[in-house]
Amino acid sequence: MQRFFKSRYTIVAAGIIFGVLAALMTNWGNPPNMGICVACFLRDIAGAIGIHQAGVVQFLRPEIMGFVFGSAATAFAFREWKSTGGSSPVIRFVLGALVMIGALVFLGCPVRMLLRIAGGDLNGIVALAGMVTGIACGVFFLKRGFNLGRAVKVPAVAGWIMPLIMIGLLIFAIIKPDFIFSSETGPGSQRVTLIVALAVGLVIGFLAQRTRMCFVGGWRDLFLVKNFYLISGVIAFFAAALVTNYIAGNFGAEGIYHWGFSGQPVAHTSHLWNF
């Protein structure tokens, strides 16, 4: 079973499923070219609990909860659940913050970047060039010995923190208490039903945990060790999303997408910042 989930065919199949679902999420209610976006959805959740006050991007996105539940349950089912922590926590925190800032400046994580390209938004190509350049720089330093240290085992309770937080957020998403904000206009007001969002999140969480799919790691492995396993899933994701958009009628005179740089949904044309 382990060998099955590590095969090239499996990650390609996972990429296809992910790409189809991510593209269709827009047709089912999520914002255009934002069927799935980890950075955007985390931003929306942050707004929903009052961390920021941008009224158009506040909503508890069940997709994120589904990612966590799906991956955690899968890890338990396949006896891979373990709590680990890394060295250099301050550096990791700062790097994580910079990644999130960069994603929100571009208006999309690596997943949405490919979805934007698959939806005709050529600004995504500029971002792709920037991301690949950054990864190449990182590989340059890795080859010269840079290392943040090995992951170490930590108390099991640490591994439960994020799933428990997501359970709490899911409860809030269901009961909708007054202290949770929810956008009435803008991208935050565009969403699929809770059941659909959670179900899609569970599927993607399962696929990601079993195949180790990573939209950044694929390029790293390609540059660092010439391994095509992860990148094959990324390519399959993009191809599936592109084909799905055409089949669903998202391109064309009455579609929601068009090819070009300008007039794209939830996007800007400042190429320097996109890069």
Assess if residue 153 is contained within a domain: yes
Assess if residue 147 is contained within a domain: yes
Q: What are the helix and strand counts (H, E) for the chain?
A: 12, 2
Q: Please, is 179 exposed, middle or buried when counting C-beta atoms within 10 Å of its C-beta (0-12, 13-18, 19+)? A: exposed
Q: Please, is 226 exposed, middle or buried when counting C-beta atoms within 10 Å of its C-beta (0-12, 13-18, 19+)? A: exposed
| pLDDT of the residue at 17 | 98
Assess if residue 262 is contained within a domain: no
Residue 117: what residue type? I
Assess if residue 258 is contained within a domain: no
Mean pLDDT across 22-28 = 97
Does pLDDT of 1 surpass 60? no
Q: What is the count of structural domains for the chain?
A: 1
Mean pLDDT across 219-230 = 94
| pLDDT of the residue at 33 | 93
Q: Report the alpha-carbon distance of residue 124 to residue 126 in Å, rounded.
A: 5
Mean pLDDT across 29-33 = 95
275 close to 126: Cβ distance less than 8 angstroms: yes
Kindly state the tokens that stand for 218. 């694929």
Q: pLDDT per residue over 89-148, tens digit each?
A: 899 899 999 999 999 999 999 999 999 999 999 999 999 999 999 999 999 999 998 888
Specify the range with the lowest mean pLDDT, choosing from 31-35, 82-86, 226-230.
82-86
Assess if residue 195 is contained within a domain: yes
The residues with which 69 forms a beta bridge, in sequence order, are none
Q: Please, is 44 exposed, middle or buried when counting C-beta atoms within 10 Å of its C-beta (0-12, 13-18, 19+)? A: buried
Mean pLDDT of all residues belonging to the chain: 94
Domain extent for 240: 2-252
Assess if residue 274 is contained within a domain: no
90 close to 75: Cβ distance less than 8 angstroms: no
Question: How sure is the predictor about 253, in pLDDT bands with cuts at 50, 70 and 90?
Answer: confident
Assess if residue 189 is contained within a domain: yes
Q: pLDDT per residue over 174-220, tens digit each?
A: 999 999 999 999 999 999 999 999 999 999 999 999 999 999 999 99
| pLDDT of the residue at 250 | 95
Half-sphere CA count of 41, side-chain side, radius 13 A? 26
Question: How sure is the predictor about 82, in pLDDT bands with cuts at 50, 70 and 90?
Answer: confident
The residues with which 38 forms a beta bridge, in sequence order, are none
Does pLDDT of 150 surpass 90? no
The whole model's pTM is what?
0.93
Assess if residue 271 is contained within a domain: no
